[in-house]
Amino acid sequence: MKIFENELIYVELHESEIPWLKIFTQKPYKELSECDEAAKRALFDTAFLIEEEMLSYFKPDKINWASFGNMLPRVHIHIQARFKNDSFFPEPMWGAKQREFTADFPPIKPFLELLAQKMQHRF
């Protein structure tokens, strides 16, 4: 589900038990070093905004950033709000499941609406 888009980037919700967003460049760059300065700035300004808003809204134990691009060879950044009792913590979300998780954080829909508004005003 796309929650924000402009000429440089777009942001999608990744369906997961934890709050998890992905930021993509509009142009299909393969590596970060290939991005022009405007795309880099938009990508990282957005990532920092998402991190700040996740910390404020969800109060996670940790924020994880990831950028692999092995399965999808295109520049994108994953931003995840992690909780000590989520199913995979302290493993990455792609790791071995550690336990069953019972979510104990606010609903994501109001967060996505607030974040989309902030991104519209900022970018």
Note if the bond before 90 is cis, omega within 30 degrees.
yes
Tens of pLDDT, residue by residue over 51-90, are 999 999 999 999 999 998 777 778 999 999 999 999 999 9
CATH topology of domain 2-122: HIT family, subunit A (3.30.428)
Distances (CA, A) of 77 to 13, 32, 48, 104, 110: 12, 10, 11, 25, 22
pLDDT given for residue 91 in this prediction:
94
Is pTM beyond 0.75? Reply is: yes
pLDDT given for residue 123 in this prediction:
81
Tens of pLDDT, residue by residue over 13-52, are 999 999 999 999 999 999 999 999 999 999 999 999 999 9
